Amino acid sequence: MPINLHLWLVPGLCLAGFLLNLVFGRLWGKSIAGAVGVGFSGLALLAALWVAHRWSGAPYIEPHATWFLAGPLRVSFGLFLDPLSLLMMLIVTGVGFLIHLYSLGYMSEEGGFYRYFSLLNLFLFFMLTLVLAGNYLLLFAGWEGVGFASYILIGFFFRRDAAARAGIKAFVVNRIGDFGFLLGLFLIFARFGSFNYQTVFARAATLPVESGWHGPLTVIALLLLVGALGKSAQLPLYIWLPDAMEGPTPVSALIHAATMVTAGVYMIARSAVIYDHSPAARSLVLAIGALTAIFAASIGVLQRDIKRILAYSTISQIGYMFMACGVAAYGAGVFHLMTHAFFKALLFLGAGSVIHAMHGEQDIFRIRSLAPGGLKRYAPITFWTFVIATCAISGIPGFSGYFSKDLILERVFAATSGAGRIWWALGLVAAFLTAFYMFRALFVTFFPAPAGAPESAAHPTGQEPAGAAAAGGHGNPENAPRHALPHESPAVMTIPLLGLAVLAALGGYLNWGDRLLHFLAPAFSPTPNAVAYRPLPPFLTAGVQHALMALTIAVALGGLLLAWVLYRRRPRAAAQWAEAVPGLYRLVFNKYWVDEFFDAVLITPLRAISHWVLWRGVDDGLIAGSLRGIGGGLLKTSDGLRRQISGSLRSYAAWIAAGACAAVIYMGWLTLR
Amino acid sequence: MPTSLMDYLRILPEIILTVFGALILLVEGAARGGSRGRIAGALAFIGSLLALAAGISLIRYPGTAFAGMVRVDSVSIYFHILILATVAVVTLLAMDFLRTDGHPRGEFYALLLFAAVGMGFMVSSDNLILTFIGLEISSISSYVLCAYRRHAPKSTEAALKYLLLGSFATAFFLYGITLLYGASGSVSLPAIGQSLAGKMAAGGLALGSLIPLAAALIFVGLGFKVSAAPFQVWTPDVYEGAPALVTGFISTAAKAAAFVILLRVFYVALRGYSQQWFWLMWVAAILSMTLGNIGALRQTSLKRMLAYSSVAQAGYILVAFAVIAQNPAPRVLPGHAPVSGILAGPGVGAILFYLTVYTAMNLGAFAVIARVANRGERFTSLSDFAGLGKRHPGLALAMTLFLLSLLGVPFTGGFLAKLYIFQSAFQAHLIGLAIVALVNTVIAAWYYLRVVVYMYMRPPEGELPPIASSPAWTLGAACCAVVVLWLGILPGHLLHWLAK
Amino acid sequence: MLNLQLILFLIFGALAVAGGINMLRSRSPIYGALSLILVMGALAVLYLLLGAEFIAFVQILVYAGAIMVLFVFVIMLLNAQPLPPHERARFARRLGLPAIFILLGILAAAFALRYSRARLAAGSPMFHVRSIGQALFHQGLLPFEATSVLFLVGIAGAVLLAARPETQSSGTDTPAVKAADRSGL
């Protein structure tokens, strides 16, 4: 009998914080509401550490009340702890706590303080439910819950149409993903008769590895992938994430960078057994990951809004994690997930600090022009932590991101051959672009403008980017006077920055000697004894490994160098290059017109149907019909052509008669044939 | 055949409701002054609670009454409880609404109770004649209730449309009963079932048999009552015109009772023919879900939007009917069915669970609308809900809960209800139907969430009068909210009970 | 004998149908009501032909007699004018009418197939007053009693809808008319 870990305490504490603030928050002042919010997330972190301390290392199931029982369908609230969920739990509570702390300072001027903290706690509760769930259905519940919490948080504090639309967009796109996910879940149940991880994986492990695209496990894997694409903002369902940046910056840091968006990766890693049985599905994961990585990175190159740059870099980095999962290197993917959580949270919090310092300005070029002598003079802690994070994400050797990204590229290289190496090459190019645009952001934001730099960077078309223009000025609703000088953030904001900076700098060493991979390995294999830590293929000798490593380093430094040249040394060159290929520039600058494409293909027809057929037809018809009184005749709609549906009583009767006629024809055909 | 005390015991809820209904009418006539409405409300509440208690006590007296006219089995007990609880909650919700709007109150409660009498007969009837009379009692009460805001042209119009189209649909239903009687020589559901089973066993139906046509006609009549497409055309007008609370009542309790008839007629009497009527359910389910959800997308009146949404919800329930048709339960002769026999089939549990959740969440949503609409129901459009989160956080929170449940978000009853239905569809290999249903839930996200957006992310438009507090309303709405949450988080008890 | 029955059936059946169509077509309420009386009477004859004397008499007494007289009274009292000619609901005509005809056609076809050789069972004991009484007060006791609730609902509803809002009085003559109106539906 294993000791009782009281795993439920971890999400339970967050739920308690949520409820307390929800019920009493209005009565409390800001200080108590903040203390409760931060305190309970801190307690959750302590509980998580306590659990980690007492955990024996064997997979641990904590059964709780049956949630749902209907015929063969039995789902419990059971929680589950294994290396993977332990790591995720620590990431979520650790990063979550720091961001809570940071929010104390960042949101101090905002209204609805208690509501913000209660929702943030609610988000943590759902996220912990997601990672600690013992079955797919509870995972799905957490999955939906984080989506909802994020949707509310995006829209809550920003009474702007853009925020409201972004919230809905996020939710609807996620529903598309969830649709696939749910379908996958039903297939899992149909196939294995259970939602429980243990049962499903044990049964799946006995099935043969499938070839081709038609095997049941492949179909399940593909459907789960659809869900993961939505949640983790991968091609083609990534469109919601950049818009989600309308929310408060700590929310972006917590939800849209560190935790929620990586849930897709977690889910795929959790379903490792299923993906192991389907090379076809894995190859798709790899391709999507690589394409997303390069696609998003190339968009990031030309963005001007600091939060948008980070949003695209998030999408791109998650692409790496998908690539890792695509070559069955789940451990490497989760490793990158962890380091990414550290440095991306740091980047966002740093960006928040910058925005805070600049009184709401988000356009990096304007920040530069508004901070004479460079922002680094005014906000040194923010600057130095931002430097660390930028080095980490760019893969500068010694920083955390370097270890995980190098590992992923190495595994992708090892697992592919021939034409398959294209994915590896794409990953490498994306790494170059990442280093370039992140250092571009760093140089432009924090350094003074070099002599001879155009005031507003290169704009061959002369147009002001819509996103930057909209975001500039009201990113933070409380707008201090614009002429105030930039200032460093208060300690309550810089302490989390420093904490995360340590993690971002040193987090990579957790995997020293592949320790983390060994630790995680049991989570990816169903049977305790199987060796899931995959040995490297023989051609990957130490020499090749070192060559790859050198290549990664060279690419990262190359990106750094290019950014330095373009934005520090020869500021005119960037504009000249852009002028040389205006078409490409515009294409990339406008994010490949993907949003417009989606609008044209999906949203517009749906709206048109709803508008013209149902609204103009039925609805207008009805209102006009009732004005004329019952029995009033045909409605003359404005265009005079659409007279199918009048909204009058008689046409309703005609509908019913027609329906009855159809039913009777069908049944009559049965009896008279 | 002499009747015994037991016979009357088994219709005790109906007797209690009738007595109280008549009592309310008498008291209303005799009482003077301000006490009239209060006494009537209290009587209605007590009556519905007493009837509820009687309904619960039926658990100990399963069996038939009045020579097989009434069947007290788990389904009828279950729906008695559901319907009577709904009536009690509506009574609570209505108390202040009637007072502030200056409507005569006694008749409202009396009609409410009488409607429940009809629904009670609908759910426990094993005989098509009684079914029909129960249906008419509840329908005519509903027509009158729809016209309750007599000065509002929309309300009167809604009632008249409902009355005329309802009579039209009833004619189909009645004609179907006639044909069924002609084909099988009985109006008793088990007898029809046995006759049909015998015919099917002897090599199928004869050429020109009337049973398929009867099934089609009955389906038309009942499809109208549950507002399944293509018989849903009346729903938006009527739901919009009727007072919000009445809409809440007729879209939940009345619909649930009609679904029970659908279940009994098709599952008990026509079970032998399920492979054929399967397609009726299939087509109606897809049409209802799709038309309902697409129709709701652009609505600006919240009542109208929820009317379309309730069409869609009916579609989800019809999915479960298709499941039932696909998986006829192990043969238990209906005449000898054990008390819980009807529940044996897959899908039936899903229907019961869904209807329970649906009743709670839809009634709750309309209750909030009634509250926000304020005196004279002037504020029912989407823009009137703008900024509700600031003006009335409690109301906004309740509305959010009900909308999320209608959408099917986890930890609300709506999620598990949908899950249960989709799951049973998958088990019955109705993959196509399940996929259409899933796609529809994606579409539905748009319009449900739009309301949430308005409530929390838009500033209020114009000056809106304050909403008076109402303890009775709060209690009623809290009941709905508790049920929605309870069934979303710990549905174990109910599901266990359903499985029994 | 059978032939005579058939001829009578055809005559009165045609009358019933014609009366029904005329009722729908006429713009004047009074013509509509009179046509309805024709329908009721013709139906009574059909019942008689089927050997259901009791039902036939009840039909004449209650419908053609009591209810229709009330109808005509109300129409006269209200001095109802003929409806103005209204626009045709094109949609209803294009979709509704064909649908109704197809519906009737299929039902007729099914009947024709099924009952082509069946005979009309004249004078079945089922239709005797005694057996009707038996059915009504033994097997049908509950529906019979439930019907009283139905009427109560009708009356209460009529009181509610007809009462003037100021007085909210009950017990005038109007409700009874409305109740009858309802049961006529």
Q: What is the pLDDT of residues A286-314, one digit of tens each?
A: 999 998 888 888 888 777 888 888 888 99
Selecting from C86, C103, C113 the residue whose C-beta is nearest the C-beta of A661 gives: C103
What local confidence, expressed as pLDDT, does residue B454 receive? Answer: 82
In a domain, C114, yes or no: no
In a domain, C121, yes or no: no
Distance from CA of B251 to the nearest CA of C (A): 20
The count of C-alpha atoms lying within 13 angstroms of the C-alpha of B322, restricted to the half-sphere facing its C-beta, is 28
Distance from CA of B392 to the nearest CA of C (A): 33
In a domain, C142, yes or no: yes
Q: What are chain B's partners, defined as 3 or more CB pairs within 8 angstroms?
A: A, C
Whose structure tokens read 């197939």?
C113
A405 and A320 Cβ atoms separated by less than 8 Å: yes
CB pairs under 8 A between A and C: 70
Could you say which of C83, C117, C137 is where a domain stops?
C83
The count of C-alpha atoms lying within 13 angstroms of the C-alpha of B123, restricted to the half-sphere facing its C-beta, is 31
CA distances from A121 to A42, A126, A149, C86 (A): 11, 9, 10, 64
- Chain segment B238-247, per-residue pLDDT in tens: 998 899 999 9
Average pLDDT over every residue of A470-493: 53
C108 at the A interface (CB within 8 A)? Answer: no
Interacting residues of B12 by C-beta distance below 8 A, sequence separation 6+: B51, B54, B57, B58
SS3 A461: coil
**Distance of alpha carbon A666 from alpha carbon B277, whole angstroms:** 10
Q: SS in 3 state form for A339-375?
A: HHHHHHHHHHHHHHHHHHHCCCCCEHHHHHHHCCCCH
Instruction: Look at C99 and A660 and tell me if their CB atoms are within 8 Å.
Output: yes
A613 at the C interface (CB within 8 A)? Answer: no
**Could you tell me the two tokens for B85?**
């609880």
In a domain, C108, yes or no: no
Q: What are the domain boundaries of chain B?
A: 5-499
- Chain segment A361-386, per-residue pLDDT in tens: 778 788 777 777 777 777 788 888 88
Partners of A631 on chain C (C-beta within 8 Å) are 86
**Could you tell me the two tokens for B283?**
């087509």
The helix/strand count (H/E) of chain A reads as 29, 4
C113 at the A interface (CB within 8 A)? Answer: yes
What band does A461 get if pLDDT is binned at 50, 70 and 90?
very low
Cα B393 off chain centre by: 29
Partners of C85 on chain A (C-beta within 8 Å) are none
Distance from CA of A645 to the nearest CA of C (A): 7
**Could you tell me the two tokens for A601?**
């293909």
Instruction: Look at B144 and C143 and tell me if their CB atoms are within 8 Å.
Output: no
What local confidence, expressed as pLDDT, does residue A396 receive? Answer: 85
Q: List, for chain C, all residue ranges whose pLDDT scores fall below the cut of 70.
A: 1-2, 84-92, 114-127, 164-185
What band does B360 get if pLDDT is binned at 50, 70 and 90?
very high
Would you call the peptide bond into A465 cis, given omega within 30 degrees of 0 as the criterion? no
Distance from CA of C99 to the nearest CA of A (A): 5
Selecting from C87, C96, C106 the residue whose C-beta is nearest the C-beta of A653 gives: C96
Q: State the DSSP H helix or E strand holding residue A62, giving kind and residue range, or none if neither.
A: strand A60-62
Instruction: Look at C110 and B143 and tell me if their CB atoms are within 8 Å.
Output: no
What band does B292 get if pLDDT is binned at 50, 70 and 90?
confident
Q: State the DSSP H helix or E strand holding residue A80, giving kind and residue range, or none if neither.
A: strand A79-81
Selecting from C89, C98, C103 the residue whose C-beta is nearest the C-beta of A646 gives: C89
Partners of C149 on chain B (C-beta within 8 Å) are 18, 114, 117-118, 137
C74 and C12 both lie in a single domain: yes
A614 at the C interface (CB within 8 A)? Answer: no
Window A:57-86, CB contacts with B under 8 Å: 65-73
Interacting residues of A657 by C-beta distance below 8 A, sequence separation 6+: C95, C96, C99, C100, C103
Window B:232-251, CB contacts with A under 8 Å: 233-234, 236-237
Beta strands at A60-62 and A79-81: parallel, antiparallel or unpaired: antiparallel
**Distance of alpha carbon A307 from alpha carbon A313, whole angstroms:** 10
Beta bridge partners of A62: A79
pLDDT over threshold 80, residue A558: yes
**Could you tell me the two tokens for C182?**
């309802």
Would you call the peptide bond into A208 cis, given omega within 30 degrees of 0 as the criterion? no
**Distance of alpha carbon A663 from alpha carbon B283, whole angstroms:** 10
Average pLDDT, chain B: 85
Distance from CA of A668 to the nearest CA of C (A): 7
Could you say which of C48, C63, C83 is where a domain stops?
C83
**Distance of alpha carbon A648 from alpha carbon A623, whole angstroms:** 10
Q: Which has the closest alpha carbon to A617: A599, A634, A637?
A: A637
pLDDT over threshold 90, residue B224: yes
In a domain, C140, yes or no: yes
Other Cβ atoms closer than 10 A to B83:
31
The count of C-alpha atoms lying within 13 angstroms of the C-alpha of C68, restricted to the half-sphere facing its C-beta, is 19
**Distance of alpha carbon A401 from alpha carbon A507, whole angstroms:** 8
Q: Which has the closest alpha carbon to A273: A333, A201, A217?
A: A201
Q: Return the higher-pLDDT residue of A276 and C89.
A: A276
- Domain of residue C149 covers 128-164
Instruction: Look at B213 and A622 and tell me if their CB atoms are within 8 Å.
Output: no
Cα C62 off chain centre by: 10
- Which amino acid appears at position B296 of this protein? A
Q: Which has the closest alpha carbon to A438: A278, A598, A573, A562?
A: A562
B152 at the A interface (CB within 8 A)? Answer: no
SS3 A648: coil
* DSSP calls for A151-199: HHHHHHS--SHHHHHHHHHHHHHHHHHHHHHHHHHHHHHHHHS--BHHH
Q: Tell me phi and psi for residue A157, to 5 degrees.
A: -100, 0
Selecting from B111, B117, B136 the residue whose C-beta is nearest the C-beta of C156 gives: B111
A628 at the C interface (CB within 8 A)? Answer: no
Instruction: Look at A66 and B346 and tell me if their CB atoms are within 8 Å.
Output: no
- Chain segment A598-646, per-residue pLDDT in tens: 555 555 555 555 444 444 444 344 333 333 332 222 233 223 323 333 4
- Which amino acid appears at position B264 of this protein? R
A3 DSSP 8-state letter: P
Instruction: Look at C86 and A632 and tell me if their CB atoms are within 8 Å.
Output: yes
Selecting from A182, A626, A655 the residue whose C-beta is nearest the C-beta of B438 gives: A182
Angle between helices B106-124 and C141-162 (to 10 degrees): 150
- Chain segment B442-482, per-residue pLDDT in tens: 778 878 888 887 887 777 777 777 777 788 889 999 999 99
pLDDT over threshold 90, residue B356: yes
**Distance of alpha carbon A659 from alpha carbon C170, whole angstroms:** 42
The tally of domains found in chain C comes to 2
pLDDT over threshold 70, residue A489: yes
Interacting residues of A463 by C-beta distance below 8 A, sequence separation 6+: none
A631 at the C interface (CB within 8 A)? Answer: yes
Cα angle value A83/A199/A56 (rounded, 5°): 30
What local confidence, expressed as pLDDT, does residue A482 receive? Answer: 45
Distance from CA of C117 to the nearest CA of B (A): 13
**Distance of alpha carbon B219 from alpha carbon B288, whole angstroms:** 14
- Say which range, B26-40, B409-423, C148-162, has the weakest mean pLDDT: B26-40
What band does A527 get if pLDDT is binned at 50, 70 and 90?
low
SS3 A81: strand
Instruction: Look at A619 and B453 and tell me if their CB atoms are within 8 Å.
Output: no
Distance from CA of A510 to the nearest CA of B (A): 36
B465 at the A interface (CB within 8 A)? Answer: no
Average pLDDT over every residue of A411-425: 83
Partners of B210 on chain A (C-beta within 8 Å) are 671
Average pLDDT over every residue of A225-245: 83
Interacting residues of A228 by C-beta distance below 8 A, sequence separation 6+: A177, A181, A234, A263, A264, A265, A267, A268, A322
Q: SS in 3 state form for chain B?
A: CCCCHHHHHCCHHHHHHHHHHHHHHHHHHHCCCCHHHHHHHHHHHHHHHHHHHHHHHHHHCCEEECCCCEEECHHHHHHHHHHHHHHHHHHHHHHHHHHHHCCCCHHHHHHHHHHHHHHHHHHHECEHHHHHHHHHHHHHHHHHHHCCCCCCHHHHHHHHHHHHHHHHHHHHHHHHHHHHHHHHCCCEHHHHHHHHHHHHHCCCCCCCCCHHHHHHHHHHHHHHHCCCCCCCCCHHHHHHHCCHHHHHHHHHHHHHHHHHHHHHHHHHHCHHHHHHHHHHHHHHHHHHHHHHHHHHCCCCEHHHHHHHHHHHHHHHHHHHHHHHHHCCCCCCCHHHCCCCHHHCCCCHHHHHHHHHHHHHHHHHHHHHHHHHHCHHHCCCEHHHHCCHHHHCHHHHHHHHHHHHHHHCCCCCHHHHHHHHHHHHHHHCCCHHHHHHHHHHHHHHHHHHHHHHHHHHHCCCCCCCCCCCCCHHHHHHHHHHHHHHHHHHHCCHHHHHHHHC
Average pLDDT over every residue of B119-143: 94
**Distance of alpha carbon A410 from alpha carbon A392, whole angstroms:** 18
Whose structure tokens read 């059946």?
C13
SS3 A305: strand
Distance from CA of B442 to the nearest CA of A (A): 6
Other Cβ atoms closer than 10 A to B154:
14
Q: What are chain A's partners, defined as 3 or more CB pairs within 8 angstroms?
A: B, C
In a domain, C118, yes or no: no
Q: Which has the closest alpha carbon to B276: B227, B216, B348?
A: B216
A120 and A94 Cβ atoms separated by less than 8 Å: no
Instruction: Look at B457 and A68 and tell me if their CB atoms are within 8 Å.
Output: no
Q: Is the dihedral of CA A618, A622, A628, A632 positive or negative?
A: positive
In a domain, C99, yes or no: no
pLDDT over threshold 50, residue B102: yes
Other Cβ atoms closer than 10 A to A593:
12
C170 and B31 Cβ atoms separated by less than 8 Å: no
**Distance of alpha carbon A269 from alpha carbon A522, whole angstroms:** 12
Angle between helices B302-326 and B255-263 (to 10 degrees): 10
Selecting from A634, A657, A661 the residue whose C-beta is nearest the C-beta of C90 gives: A634
- Chain segment C110-120, per-residue pLDDT in tens: 777 766 554 54
B461 at the A interface (CB within 8 A)? Answer: no
Instruction: Look at A634 and C91 and tell me if their CB atoms are within 8 Å.
Output: yes
Instruction: Look at C96 and A671 and tell me if their CB atoms are within 8 Å.
Output: no
Q: Tell me phi and psi for residue B64, to 5 degrees.
A: -115, 160
